[in-house]
A = this chain, B = another copy of it.
């Protein structure tokens, strides 16, 4: 067991603009990381929604003008930046790395977890990203099934959830 404590772990926390992911991050910092005397590296991951593209599902498709695309890109980039800043402010006395990836958060989280060989994935039970409504709840289910490492799903207590 001592070996495990001495080991420098990589812990991936998926963050988005929702309060629940920030609560998950805080819970992880208070319950998982602090106890290891900051030996761990915390990897903050934000998944940007993929750009709209032609869909092959039914042959129909759509395109946005370059202006609108540029505006959307700028907005999502600013959003990612503000989320990361907010998350980093919570991380005191912890080694932190940040990553912003583009794609379906379900895939992005599992892919980054595998690529970096993290020891644990931490995420809220809902979300993630601008397309969270479309994937409500399914991100945590998907990651719990597909990620090749332990997955910690943190739900906001009802007592504070309603101010979300």
Contacts and interface: CB of A to CB of B under 8 A. Distances in A.
A35 B36 CA distance: 6
A157 B148 contact: yes
Nearest to A31: B4
A21 interface: no
Interface residues of A, number: 34
Given A1-B34, A137-B145, 14 more contacts: A4-B30, A5-B30, A5-B34, A9-B31, A24-B150, A144-B153, A147-B155, A148-B155, A150-B152, A150-B153, A150-B155, A151-B152, A152-B152, A153-B153
Interface of A: 1-2, 4-5, 9, 24, 27, 29-32, 34-36, 92, 119-120, 125, 137, 140-141, 144-145, 147-155, 157-158
